[in-house]
Structure 1
């Protein structure tokens, strides 16, 4: 995929802008949940679906969206997803009832999945060289960190000043501007068409399986877990028998893809779990309000952004992604252990600030390098599917981390409540959760040391190559 540096930079800006919207939306919503619950009359259990509805739809559609991008052109799927996300944001902002808001969140998740599933694949094709790809991944990680940093603070400010509907409505003008820019700047890729492999029964099975799996994780539901196993087994059987399968099993049979994404699951389980548990620790143990919590968190995403933008690309270009990932995981392990060792009456600057900086340094180099390894060896015709698979691993990891660490913290807190102040029991629970998160990091580190030694070369493809043209007036119009 050849184009001028300016054209590729413009396309990268569009892709990162959409990713920023997704991250920004998730953190803003997390801050506004109490106000949403009060205004729309959600129950304590029901309000969780303001977050879970988005997560279930997002994770369930990622693989389907990635394959669809391979077949019809990633730019078409990206623009379609961005359009759905923007319209759904409008629906959420004007939602008069709890049910309408949940429906809007499901629709947002579907649009987010369509757009996000093809982003990594497009970046890999835009920047095929190792050094330039590392820089592009650094910019991508910077936008993720920037969204997280901005979302915590902006969510509190907007909700307090203008009300929670604004946190959704702000997506509408941004989404429209990014859609128009994307239509002009994104590479016009021509895939082989849906007739070459869009397996609808397989798509339904994999979507149902992944959605049920995420539902089971976030709600600890054994029935949903059983259904997920059955749906996924049916999907594998369908792929073996279908004339034109949704996903070529030769790709999923590659050990590197599965092992690398197992590490992705563990890394994102740690990252999302850290974000969630540390927010609770700061509020319930240290006594901060929502706005103060956002300010307390700022050092981590700021450091992540700076490191991923300026440091990680240079390190990766010089040493390669695997050595950088090993160093990042070692730092991540140290940071989580420091959180585990915080006292019950911590000082922010003495006890909280140092591990937040270490976590920022660690995540800033870990995320770009683990994504590069997860995408390694993907042939051009498969990058959409591999990108969707990696995004699915990220979402599943986040759901796993939130669920497991929340259960660990709650169980340990309940066991420690007898005869001690509540804040002491909470500290014990959160400390145990951080210790489990350290176990996630250690498992990821062992995977990288022993199983991810040498990245594979791209597989040979029999499908026609993808062609692209940047800003070409003769390119096919968006549909």
Structure 2
């Protein structure tokens, strides 16, 4: 009982059950990946309806990636300061509203602007979901399983997007690949408000404004410069000027974080945690692996083997299913084996799978030319992606869970953006060399085969970096 005059403290709402919190995090990851993959197959229809130029059409994809990668660190620190519940709900609201605008767009400018805003919303969502997982699942086995499920949900999103994008574009309209996000987002906002009711709401420290400006602008300028290399030479002013500006901004960012910020957006001490530093380095390299697998394999199926958009999506479905199954298994193995063994086996799959895929040509059959090697590569992705995410977000303080999640997502997204630009440039140059002596399909196949060989090299690089990880200690 309480005496008269005593103020009874208000009971704090209880967080939802673990399964509901995990389901929310997985659904948000599914939504982000679904949106990226579902748009790719709709691009030709978008170009015809809105009158995009070939260069402008690329910004339907690049605008999203640029904002997503550039704002991720800011989103991660904001999740720590204001709480993952608020940031997740705000990100979902922004993402859903931008999807509605994109689905109703009547001009190229409006659609690209909507995609940029979608990217900002995704940059708020992704680190918030990782912050939720890091703080809600602290026991090693449960945490590993949670990360396995979160990673696998991305595979489901990629698989569903590739198939659903072709089906929706063919049966309805490309507009519905955006509009489908609206009801999904509304449902997830409701779940977030209920399931995260008792989570930490963040502190009252001020946002590191100088770090936010220099860090976000530096990352965005870097990615923008790399993306410009698709249309201009690497030595051109269009590429070198934004990259040079990004280097100056990032140097300023490091100085601000090290010397002036009282509450740094990215505490540099985090890079003193070996798992965090090495894990992020491997995720940066892994971004190129993922791009080579999903993006360039889809192009090979359509441009070389003559598959339709829907057929290409179905053709990648077995690999997506393999990734889903193996990612869940990797999560169960991780507490027993540690990070390095799973990464090394995964890298062996990359080298063998991409080496096999690089032999494909215009006359190859689907089963032996594409299906076999992509199943092997998908096995490698299933082993490595959840493992790398768990490594890159482990050992950090709970108060930095959001920014650690932002770092991991930024590394993967930046690696994918840079990898796309570098690999696309290499493929284009090789295709141009082969164009005079054969059919267009043969020339394109030569370019894609070079990409696959380069991806095999990235697999070797990840294996080498994994040697820097600390030894696994069994509990």
Map 1:325-344 onto structure 2 (within 5 A).
325-344=343-362
2:212 is equivalent to residue 203 of structure 1:
yes
Contact 1:322–1:373 (8 Å) recurs in 2: no
Query: CA shift at 1:171, angstroms?
Result: 0.6
Aligned mates of 1:5, 1:57 — CA distance in 2: 31
- Decide whether aligned partners of structure 1 residues 297 and 166 sit closer, same or farther in structure 2, where only a CA change above 3 A counts: same
Q: How many residues align?
A: 451
Q: Which runs of 5+ in 1 are unaligned?
A: 457-479
Contact 1:377–1:455 (8 Å) recurs in 2: no
Query: CA shift at 1:10, angstroms?
Result: 0.2
Residue 303 of structure 1, aligned match among 311, 315, 322: 322
Deviations along 1:120-159, whole A, 9 cap, x unmatched?
A: 2221222112211121111112210011011011111111
Map 1:13-412 onto structure 2 (within 5 A).
13-186=23-196, 188-194=198-204, 196-220=205-229, 221-239=239-257, 240-309=259-328, 311-412=329-430
Aligned mates of 2:349, 2:220 — CA distance in 1: 33
Normalising by structure 1, we get a TM-score of 0.90
Query: CA shift at 1:401, angstroms?
Result: 1.7
Aligned mates of 2:458, 2:255 — CA distance in 1: 31
Q: Over the residues paired in the alignment, what is the CA RMSD in angstroms?
A: 1.8
Contact 1:299–1:360 (8 Å) recurs in 2: no
Aligned mates of 2:464, 2:114 — CA distance in 1: 41
Normalising by structure 2, we get a TM-score of 0.91
Query: CA shift at 1:224, angstroms?
Result: 1.1
Q: Which runs of 5+ in 2 are unaligned?
A: 1-12, 230-238
Query: CA shift at 1:280, angstroms?
Result: 1.3
Query: CA shift at 1:423, angstroms?
Result: 2.1
Deviations along 1:412-453, whole A, 9 cap, x unmatched?
A: 11112222222222222111111111111110110002x113
Aligned mates of 2:312, 2:86 — CA distance in 1: 39
Aligned mates of 1:455, 1:73 — CA distance in 2: 32
Aligned mates of 1:59, 1:320 — CA distance in 2: 28
Aligned mates of 1:94, 1:344 — CA distance in 2: 39
Aligned to 2:8: none
Aligned mates of 2:223, 2:320 — CA distance in 1: 26
Contact 2:337–2:472 (8 Å) recurs in 1: no
Query: CA shift at 1:383, angstroms?
Result: 1.2
